[in-house]
Structure 1
Amino acid sequence: MTATELVFDPFSEEFFNGAWEIYRRMRDEAPVYYNAEHDFYALSRHEDVAAAYKDFESFSSAYGLDLSTVRSDEPMMAKMIIMMDPPEHRQMRSLVNKVFTPRAIEALRPMVTETIDRFLPADRDAFDVVQDFSALFPVQVITQMLGVPEQYRHQVGEWVDTSLRREPGQIDMSEEGMQAVGELMGLYYQIIQERRAEPREDMFSRLVAAEIVREDGEKQSLDDFEIAGFATLLGGAGAETVTKLVGNAAVTFARNPDQWQKLLDDRSKIPAAVEELLRYEAPNQYNVRRSMRDIELHGVTIPEGKPVFLLAGSANRDPEAFTDADIFDIDRDRAEAQNLGFGYGVHSCLGAALARMESAIALERLLDFMPRYEVDFDGCTRVSAQNVAGWSSVPVRVLR
């Protein structure tokens, strides 16, 4: 029997539908994988992905997060914190950290709870967990938090979706996607001007006011472009992560009803369930870095200047890191290995605490709303989008 060729194509239908078998083969057969068609490398083992996330001097973020931008010869112009390396990253992070303190996030709990409750449908037997629920509330939470006027909040979600959408085989952002990003940045720029003139109790106002004292004693604050870039990042990453995680939860628990029963029996396990969902099928499957020097790993040389996929989705299923890695177990030992679902190192997700809070509250509400349910698997559709993985539709029947 002839072994099939190992092909990892992050723009293929096969990848969008769950790349678990491909990941397994990559970890076993080609832990430093090279794709000749698109001229990129990929790391799939937990040990290698975690080390690369921390080694920003060898694996740079300054060229972007996806293949389209990283393979360009020019650093990114957009001032997004996720597309920076230290020391610039350190300065920006210390500024935005001021509006992401644990106290600040906890203070959002009433607003987050009220928003989630508003989008949970009334008593219904037929319900789409994504279309009717998880695709709706996260962007509302993020935009309220930022201070986006209510009439623009739904539109922000549509712009984010358009910018991330990819057809199978499509690498570069579409014209519509670029226009959506431009429209979004324009709206944010306008709001920032208004907040500079008249501050309010929202994140835009706090980002405008945030200052740090640099090593030379000078005060530094964020300019309009930096704030707009950060808000664009927050809106995209924050909304998409929770949308996909909650959709994934409905499918994963339907396939593992014993785990859903554990939550029905003991709601205190909800935070652990969120962590296991992040590990088992991370909404963010990968980030792309640029190699800043020749890197020798597992007998392969990654040349300087190449895109390198850090496959967190594969790393989180690595049996060398996690016992029974392909088993969904909300009671698993969290100390075994680092969960890379929210990144690692200097770029660990700034909004992780907020995403965890939203996901936990949403799970709590779904336990109340549909303690017994069935997923219409034939009606489920996968997302085809840049970096993120999950479902765009998960129809369920609530069993009364």
Structure 2
Amino acid sequence: MHYDPVDPELIADPYPTYAWLRDHDPIHHHDASDGAPPFWALSRFADVWDAVRRPEVFSSAQGLTFYFDEIGQLGLPPNLVMLDPPRQTRLRALIGRGFTPRRVAELEGAIRSFVRSRLAEMAQRASDGEPVDLHRDFSSTIPTHVLAELFGVAEEDRLRFGPWTQALTAIQNDGLRLDPDTFSGDGREAVTEMLGYFSEQISDRRAHPRDDLLGALVAAEMDGPDGSAQRLSDWDILGFCFVVVAGGSDTTASLISHGIALLTDAPDQRQLLLDDPGLLDGALVEFLRLESSVQGLCRTTTCDVTVDGTMIPAGEKVLMLYGSANRDPREFGPTADLLDVRRQIPRHLAFSSGPHFCIGSHLARLQAKIAFQELLSAHPGIVVDTGAGQRHQSAFVRGWVSLPAYGLAG
């Protein structure tokens, strides 16, 4: 079987190919014959789990795709997902002082109120005979609103978040074969505009402290290795803002949309959730496992390394196929491809693992939990038409652009 990560047919349904790779070519070497640069791909859970927990061998500091140096191309500030320990460890610890589970939990009331308002609008549109799109009208609106709340963005500035997140998502999905020329136009302008806006907001928080996430990051400090106080620079905070907006919006939206799509295809599992809402926390993990929003990201080898008897030379791009690893029957048993909201999942890779475990995982789970609680309570019969939906065309993220929905109560 030929593996081409940017083939539209594979993007539509990558899982049979993943299964073949796991069984026949788990340390796959992809040549440049189809136009993509050469790289390696790890598809089994154990191999990916081990690799992402060894940043000294599998480095994130040379970019996360197999195309080119997207860090230098975009002129991005340093950020958690594109740094290695020990610098990444110190930066993560400082950011953690401001981005706490408590601060995220305080958003619950605002999130729930917003979700209910979106559901009311969707129900009204359905009653009026208008089409409803689950992803555009519901899933994608939630993280945009939540991030604006979290950062303390003024009401009059919140409309700017939508175009930013759309443009940044388009950067990840701009055509099937990326090259440096695609990182221009709207994408570059969005990065420049967003970083300029947050630079102004950071300066304002330094001059006028406020109790929001930006204010907390400006004030965060900890003892450094030499005993002196360490604080985040403006450039450090900008890097975090970029990661949260670029990586925390579409992935969370996709979790919500994927969950409803999975329940549409498994009405028995939907009924289990309706009968026992206590299963929802575990079901969210199962949705993430089966349809990982991030299908894979690359690392670069810092030295020659042997994986399952195959030697990968230093300086090679290695794609960690989270989407394949999360369906590996060697880890999840013979029903790994089936939805089971009662499945016990001690570990998975939807949020990666090790030093790059997603720092925003608690925020993503909170948003998704509230979204499903309110959606299934108000519209327990909601279904989506995946055949009429439109997917992102990306080798790295799996998500929706649009997803028509039906079965909303009036």
2:262 partner letter: T
Q: In the aligned structure 2, how far is the partner of 1:174 from the partner of 1:16?
A: 21
Q: In the aligned structure 1, how far is the partner of 2:10 from the partner of 2:71?
A: 24
Counterpart of 2:191 in structure 1 is 181
Alignment map for 1:364-383 (pairs within 5 Å): 364-383=373-392
The CA RMSD over aligned residues, in Å, is 2.0
Select which of 265, 279, 298 maps to 1:288: 298
| Greater displacement, 386-395 / 306-315 | 386-395
Select which of 12, 25, 32 maps to 1:17: 12
Q: In the aligned structure 2, how far is the partner of 1:115 from the partner of 1:322?
A: 36
Q: In the aligned structure 2, how far is the partner of 1:197 from the partner of 1:73?
A: 31
Counterpart of 1:143 in structure 2 is 148
Alignment map for 1:173-252 (pairs within 5 Å): 173-176=182-185, 177-252=187-262
Alignment map for 1:312-327 (pairs within 5 Å): 312-323=322-333, 324-327=335-338
Q: In the aligned structure 1, how far is the partner of 2:276 from the partner of 2:99?
A: 30
Which consecutive unaligned segments of at least 5 residues does structure 1 have? none
Alignment map for 1:1-400 (pairs within 5 Å): 5-9=1-5, 11-37=6-32, 38-70=37-69, 78-122=77-121, 123-124=123-124, 125=126, 126-165=131-170, 166-172=174-180, 173-176=182-185, 177-323=187-333, 324-335=335-346, 338-385=347-394, 387-398=396-407
- The SS at the match of 2:67 is helix
- The SS at the match of 1:321 is helix
Which consecutive unaligned segments of at least 5 residues does structure 2 have? none
Q: In the aligned structure 2, how far is the partner of 1:369 from the partner of 1:18?
A: 31
* Kept after mapping to 2: 8 A contact 1:276/1:330: yes
* Kept after mapping to 2: 8 A contact 1:71/1:306: no
Closer, same or farther: CA 84–7 of 1 in aligned 2, 3 Å: same
1:163 partner letter: L
* Kept after mapping to 2: 8 A contact 1:139/1:154: no
Deviation for aligned residue 1:226: 1.1
TM-score, structure 1 length as denominator?
0.93
Closer, same or farther: CA 374–161 of 1 in aligned 2, 3 Å: same
For residues 217-271 of structure 1, give each alpha carbon's deviation from its aligned partner in whole angstroms, at most 9, with x where no partner exists.
Answer: 1111111111111011011222112111111112111001111111111111111
- The SS at the match of 2:222 is strand
For residues 263-292 of structure 1, give each alpha carbon's deviation from its aligned partner in whole angstroms, at most 9, with x where no partner exists.
Answer: 111111111111100100011111111110
Deviation for aligned residue 1:71: 8.4
1:40 partner letter: F
For residues 157-179 of structure 1, give each alpha carbon's deviation from its aligned partner in whole angstroms, at most 9, with x where no partner exists.
Answer: 32222223221223544312122
* Kept after mapping to 2: 8 A contact 1:69/1:76: no
Q: Percent identity?
A: 33
| Greater displacement, 40-49 / 148-157 | 148-157
Deviation for aligned residue 1:197: 1.0
Deviation for aligned residue 1:70: 4.9
* Kept after mapping to 1: 8 A contact 2:41/2:318: yes
Q: In the aligned structure 1, how far is the partner of 2:156 from the partner of 2:359?
A: 27
| Greater displacement, 42-51 / 230-239 | 230-239
Q: In the aligned structure 1, how far is the partner of 2:143 from the partner of 2:15?
A: 27
Closer, same or farther: CA 378–31 of 1 in aligned 2, 3 Å: closer
Deviation for aligned residue 1:193: 1.0
Closer, same or farther: CA 364–73 of 1 in aligned 2, 3 Å: closer
2:152 partner letter: G
TM-score, structure 2 length as denominator?
0.91
The number of aligned residues is 393
* Kept after mapping to 2: 8 A contact 1:196/1:205: yes
Deviation for aligned residue 1:26: 1.0
- The SS at the match of 1:120 is helix
Q: In the aligned structure 2, how far is the partner of 1:200 from the partner of 1:13?
A: 47
2:175 partner letter: E
